[in-house]
Amino acid sequence: MKKVLVPTKLNRVVKDTLEAQGSYRVVQDDATELRELVTQHPDTYALIVRSEKVTPEIIDGLPHLKVIIRAGSGYNTIDAKYARRKGIDVMTTPGANANAVAEEVIAMILADARHLVAADPSCRAGKWEKKSFMGRELAGKTVGIVGLGAIGQLVAKRLSGFDVTLIGFDPVISSERAASMEVELVSLTDLFERSDYITLHIPENEHTRGLVNASLLSVIKEGATIVNCARAGIINEDDLRAIKAEKKLRFLNDVYPKDAEGPKSVADLADLMLPHLGASTAEANFKAALHAAEELIEFDEKGISSYIVNRDIPPGLDEAFGELAFVLARLARHLIGKDSKLKLIETSFYGSLKPYGKWLLPPMVAALSEEFDRSMDFAAAVNYLKDMGVDFEDRETDERKGFESSITLDLTATVGNDLLRRTSVRGTVTEGVLMISRISDFHSLYFEPNGHSVVLIYKDRPGVLGRIGAALADAGINIDDVRNPHDSKCEKSIAILKVNQAVPPDLLDTIAADIEAETWFAMHYSSGVDKA
């Protein structure tokens, strides 16, 4: 019998489901400290937790531990990397809490709009302050949804009966999928300019941290309401504090850097604060418990590993190719346009990489969407793309082309009025160094995507590269490396310049305008982190 330790307040269905299977003995105890339970049950095979911190100390105290399941989606409280070094799989139950969070968003919007929190104690005290509690209706308003994954899609569905205009921002979802939800896809700037309500449904990571900052808040509609039931770090609190009164904004918040008692840094900012109640429903608790039990059974009986979030690299695959897959997808996303709507992802894996295509798709999807964790597996990646209305094809390769151990990635997207746009990139790894060998019709690039770089595509003609270099030099920016081929028809040129520091966006825009560039962007890549 495999011992399963459940040191958290979780629906009993987790115990009933596992023990009914016949191979597990479940210890479910939410009253005893986790450290003490670890001491009492060193023979634990699987650990199922909610928000408990699973540290190296906890892991070391369970020498027989093979699986940790987070009954929920976020797993920042688990040292997943240390678990991997110990040969322990970490799994999550994504989607179990989605409806609970979506309904909480609606509840917070309505409670704030109608002053329900303040009106109740006033009325109980015998007061009759109807004039003070004049509210506003949701009908007729524009609601902007940032992130149209599982929760964002449910928010759109729940709002569909309120007679609102729905607009959304998501870098992956297809136009067709968004249209089926009656959501108009717009840029992030347009969303902040037009929305009466903005609800955030994106993860917090190096790409999204501080996303809601002075730049976006400077264009936000006066009187708008921001709802954050996602993660605390995606909002720059100081920037919101500086502009909130001037723009007469409302801020409804349910997330904090730490889920714990004590003062909260947003206490002076939030018009409505809740103690991270997004997943706190009986139904969500039941779903998370059931999914955790089912995942463990399927993992043990069928080897289904779709929800493992700390996968190891399979024998024979150089980890650098995972980074290459990520970088190629980031580059392709910039080339095709961040505001374009993806329709199709096509991959080709050549040479020794052919057996590892299923391992290399997840980092590509993670590069295209902040919502997808790159540690998930191939099935999870394909299912995510399907949910977002994006098609995927892994093409047969022609080894006669001689692209040994290389990856080709093609993206097809729609721009504007359903105008199709396509881009293609190819890369390889040479002596441990990532190398971009082709971008669309620009061949023999052999560009190393490391550090700061800028990319500009423009009509081929003499003197342009000099003007770019002069503008950078005037700004005190040194060029470390340049690639400047033209396409096969000699109609367009691409300038890829590796520089010694970040190029300010306004300077890059000025250069692009001066040379009449059709595409331009900056990237920064270092040790697995693209900060473009």
Residue 529: predicted pLDDT: 42
Does residue 116 fall inside a structural domain? yes
User: pLDDT tens digits for 95-122?
Assistant: 899 999 999 999 999 999 999 999 999 9
* Tally of CB atoms within 10 A around 12: 12
Residue 402: predicted pLDDT: 65
| Listed residue (55, 62, 3) closest to 27, CA to CA | 3
Does residue 58 fall inside a structural domain? yes
Domain that holds residue 183: 98-273
Measured CA to CA in angstroms, residue 450 lies from 4, 160, 438, 453, 459 at distances of: 45, 45, 16, 8, 26
- 181 vs 98: CA distance, rounded Å: 17
Pair (382, 513) in one structural domain: yes
- 20 vs 23: CA distance, rounded Å: 8
Pair (173, 246) in one structural domain: yes
CA geometry: angle 349, 350, 352, nearest 5 deg: 105
What total of structural domains would you count in the chain? 3
Residue 80: predicted pLDDT: 92
Residue 339: predicted pLDDT: 82
Does residue 254 fall inside a structural domain? yes
Does residue 311 fall inside a structural domain? no
Residue 403: predicted pLDDT: 73
**Hey, what long-range contacts does 356-360 have (CB within 8 A, 24 or more apart)?**
356/314, 356/316, 356/317, 356/321, 357/394, 359/313, 359/314, 359/317, 359/322, 360/321, 360/322, 360/325, 360/407
For residues 148 and 156, is the Cβ–Cβ distance under 8 A?
A: yes
Pair (357, 455) in one structural domain: yes
Does residue 153 fall inside a structural domain? yes
| Listed residue (365, 363, 517, 367) closest to 454, CA to CA | 517
Pair (323, 414) in one structural domain: yes
Pair (365, 482) in one structural domain: yes
Residue 356: predicted pLDDT: 92
Pair (324, 291) in one structural domain: no
* Distance, first Cα to last Cα, the chain: 50
In the predicted model, residues of the chain with pLDDT beneath 70 are 400-402, 527-532
The three-state (H, E, C) secondary structure of 190-231, written as one string: HHHHHCCEEEECCCCCCCCCCCECHHHHCCCCCCCEEEECCC
User: pLDDT tens digits for 387-404?
Assistant: 999 999 999 887 766 677
Pair (369, 518) in one structural domain: yes
Pair (128, 246) in one structural domain: yes
Is the pTM higher than 0.85? The answer reads no
Does residue 266 fall inside a structural domain? yes
Pair (199, 346) in one structural domain: no
- Residue 9, amino acid: K
Residue 532: predicted pLDDT: 47
Does residue 307 fall inside a structural domain? no
CATH number reported for the structural domain that contains residue 329 in this entry: 3.30.1330.90
| Listed residue (101, 351, 328, 366) closest to 207, CA to CA | 366
Pair (115, 23) in one structural domain: no
Does residue 313 fall inside a structural domain? no
Measured CA to CA in angstroms, residue 389 lies from 144, 176, 235 at distances of: 20, 7, 28
Pair (89, 104) in one structural domain: no
Pair (425, 449) in one structural domain: yes
CATH number reported for the structural domain that contains residue 80 in this entry: 3.40.50.720
For residues 357 and 349, is the Cβ–Cβ distance under 8 A?
A: yes
